[in-house]
Amino acid sequence: MPRISFFYGIAIYMYWRDHGPPHFHAQYGEHWAALTIADGQILNGSLPPRALRMVREWRRAHEAELAEGLAARPRTPSAHADRPAALASGVMVLRVTDVEALDGYRLRITFNDGAVRDVDFAEDLARAAGTLAEPLRDLDYFRQVRVDEQLRTIVWPNGLDADPDVLHGDRSPVSLAGAQSAA
């Protein structure tokens, strides 16, 4: 499942089809931020100061576990590697607001910034290895995609999800070769 931790009202998530640099997402109420695993810097979004301190403490306590999990998932470089690490406040955090299954393995995805993207998952699924991606090869199962109101992205019944930044086309996805079940 994408939610890997929950404490003091703060939820920590990691996405399946995500971009580099290695990071996790934190939600506290209506506040969202993406923080790097390496040093806890904010890549996007913002959190209230107290919640941010607690998330950074959590990152330090779980740094080895996070690194172990990433070792099995090779990453592609970020499409925005030249961006400053802290884009914090004032940057819109993208969220999926609607999804429609089209022909084949294509989805029409609507975002909170008004953008609508048609995303084809055929190549990703052909290359994907692991237990989470396997059910999506069944077209009927693939079409069971929905928008998760809490995660604010697309999700399938088995919990597999995708990063809204990658779906929007702003970031390059990681390799799917290491997509494994969280069970």
Q: What's the CA dihedral at 161, 17, 44, 80 to 10 degrees?
A: -160
Top mean pLDDT of 97-106, 130-139, 169-178 is at 97-106
132 or 179, greater pLDDT: 132
pLDDT at 147: 94
Whole-number Å distance between alpha carbons of 59 and 74: 20
For the chain, what percent of residues have pLDDT higher than 90?
29
73 or 129, greater pLDDT: 129
Q: The tokens of 155 are what?
A: 């999700």
Q: What does the domain layout of the chain look like in residue ranges?
A: 3-71, 96-168
Q: To the nearest 5 percent, what fractions of the chain are helix, strand and coil? A: 20, 30, 50
Q: Choose which CATH entry (3.30.2020.10, 3.90.600.10, 1.10.10.10, 3.30.70.270) describes domain 96-168.
A: 3.30.2020.10
Indicate the pLDDT class of residue 105, thresholds 50, 70 and 90: very high
Question: What digits encode the pLDDT tens for the residues 17-76?
Answer: 666 778 888 988 889 898 988 899 998 889 999 999 999 999 998 888 777 655 444 343
What average pLDDT is seen over the chain?
77
